């Protein structure tokens, strides 16, 4: 399959107003569309032929393994071109900013390129595979990353000082530098990690000027992607200290929330309830096992869609000490009509043979107590606990497709290596 980059600038000069040089360049902004499994990239007058080594035949036939392999290859190809597009968009905008430093549309591009952050993979194919497998430690072009960091700081400073934007527009533009934590997960080495102090210094400057609304979600993202950002519990505690030292109310609330989650890493979760079969399920009985706690309810589609994946991972690793406890939450202190039957039907359809406990969500009931203690909000809530019942991972990668198996496999491999070394 051939991919072409082509100009989309064809206009009728007689019927159209005369465009400025900036308008003509703006018309060449890279665009991306997906049509019938293919990708079309448009950017300027260049025409680029895709190397044969990464072309893929989308006419899929043959056995199941061949089908899966070709679908995977198709996804790799799409990921490669997604990265190419992100770099093209960034390079195009850097040139636009250089040529037309007074054109207010440059701020629109800045937001777009922050939303479409390139990873700067050294090897595009390896990067595409890492994206599929959610492996965020990979060889990156560190020079390009450093150059963009310096440029972006300059650009956001221009936004801050600009007289072209009203204050609400400035606030919304500047906030994008804090709301893309997930894009910072790509790292070139084990020693590289997200710089909490630098990030906090910038966010304090922002909230001092505009107030603390709309930024606190960033701290939850840092916790959620802690491992991929190269951070550990000590780093999160440092972040908590920074938050507590401020006078912003929302920052104090975020510090409280983070402290509650960190507590789970130090104190085992307590859970003792009846299963739908009437058996007593005590989390203490699962010590020496790697345990996933899956909080859900029957009205959560995402929860139910996650269950087949949990089943697959459970069957694959249960002989190595991986266990699952499903905790179904219900409100109003009792089940509504047919709810218990629906819960059993879902559980049976999945083919789950691990414990399913029922937790009340009203005040004083165990489900509510757990959610209040750790400031959980909504479902699903996924907790991966170590052999001592302490928190290893909370949501984050556990929510992503394939993330559960990756984390389970990594932990069991690490545990086996430790046992072999003894």
Question: Which pLDDT tens digit goes with each residue over 326-356?
Answer: 999 887 656 666 788 888 899 889 999 999 9
The reported pLDDT for the residue numbered 158 is 95
The reported pLDDT for the residue numbered 362 is 77
C-beta of residue 41 within 8 angstroms of C-beta of residue 85: yes
Is the backbone of residue 412 left (phi > 0), alpha (psi -120 to 50) or beta?
alpha
The reported pLDDT for the residue numbered 231 is 93
Q: What is the CA radius of gyration of the chain?
A: 25
The reported pLDDT for the residue numbered 13 is 45
For strands 356-360 and 322-330, give the pairing.
parallel
C-beta of residue 109 within 8 angstroms of C-beta of residue 93: yes
The reported pLDDT for the residue numbered 127 is 96
The reported pLDDT for the residue numbered 335 is 64
Name the token pair of 112.
């777009």
C-beta of residue 281 within 8 angstroms of C-beta of residue 274: yes
Contacts 24+ apart (CB under 8 A), 44-52: 44/5, 44/7, 44/92, 45/7, 45/9, 46/5, 47/4, 47/5, 47/6, 48/3, 48/4, 48/5, 49/2, 49/4, 50/1, 50/2, 50/3
The reported pLDDT for the residue numbered 117 is 94
Residue 235 to residue 203: CA distance in whole angstroms? 17
The reported pLDDT for the residue numbered 45 is 35
What is Dmax (Cα atoms) for the chain? Answer: 82
Ordered domains of the chain (ranges, CATH): 1-162 (no CATH), 178-266 (no CATH), 274-421 (3.40.30.10)
Phi (first) and psi of residue 314, to 5 degrees: -60, -50
Q: Where are the beta strands (DSSP E) in 331-397?
A: 356-360, 381-385, 391-394
Phi (first) and psi of residue 212, to 5 degrees: -95, 10
- Rounded to 5 degrees, what angle do the CA atoms 85, 90, 91 make? 100
The reported pLDDT for the residue numbered 332 is 62
Low-confidence ranges of the chain (pLDDT < 70): 1-16, 33-64, 332-337, 422
């Amino acid at each position: 399959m051939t991919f072409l980059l082509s100009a989309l600038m064809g206009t009728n000069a007689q019927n159209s107003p005369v465009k400025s040089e900036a308008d003509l360049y703006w018309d060449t902004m890279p665009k991306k569309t997906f049509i019938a499994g293919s990708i079309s990239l448009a950017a300027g007058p260049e025409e680029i032929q895709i190397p044969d080594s990464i072309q893929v035949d989308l006419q899929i036939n043959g056995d199941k393994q061949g089908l899966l392999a070709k679908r995977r290859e198709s996804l790799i190809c799409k990921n490669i071109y997604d990265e190419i597009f992100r770099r093209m968009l960034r390079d195009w905008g850097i040139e636009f900013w250089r040529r037309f430093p007074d054109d207010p549309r440059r701020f629109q591009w800045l937001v777009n390129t922050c939303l479409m952050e390139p990873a700067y993979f050294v090897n595009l194919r390896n990067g595409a595979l890492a994206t599929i497998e959610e492996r965020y430690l990979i060889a990156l072009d560190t020079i390009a990353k450093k150059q963009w960091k310096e440029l972006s700081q300059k650009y956001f400073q221009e936004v801050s000082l600009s007289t072209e934007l009203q204050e609400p527009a400035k606030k919304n533009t500047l906030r994008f530098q804090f709301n893309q934590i997930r894009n910072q997960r790509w790292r070139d080495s084990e020693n590289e990690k997200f710089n909490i102090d630098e990030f906090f210094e910038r966010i304090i400057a922002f909230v001092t000027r505009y107030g603390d609304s709309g930024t606190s979600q960033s701290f939850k993202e840092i916790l959620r992607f802690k491992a991929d950002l190269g951070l550990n519990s000590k780093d999160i505690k440092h972040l908590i200290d920074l938050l507590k030292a401020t006078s912003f109310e929302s920052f104090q609330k975020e510090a409280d929330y983070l402290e509650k989650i960190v507590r789970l890493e130090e104190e085992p979760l307590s859970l003792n309830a009846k299963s739908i079969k009437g058996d007593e399920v005590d989390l203490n009985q699962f010590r020496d096992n790697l345990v996933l706690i899956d909080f859900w309810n029957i009205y959560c589609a995402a929860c139910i869609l996650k269950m087949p994946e949990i089943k697959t991972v459970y069957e694959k690793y249960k002989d190595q000490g991986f266990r699952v406890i499903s905790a179904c939450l219900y409100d109003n202190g009792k089940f509504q009509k047919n709810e218990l039957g629906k819960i059993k039907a879902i559980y049976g359809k999945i083919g789950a043979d691990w414990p399913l406990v029922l937790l009340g969500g009203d005040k004083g009931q165990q489900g509510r107590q757990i959610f209040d203690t750790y400031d959980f909000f909504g479902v699903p809530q996924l907790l991966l606990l170590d052999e001592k019942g302490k928190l290893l991972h909370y949501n984050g990668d556990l929510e992503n497709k394939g993330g559960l198996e990756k984390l389970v496999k990594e932990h069991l491999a690490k545990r086996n290596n430790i046992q072999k070394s003894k």
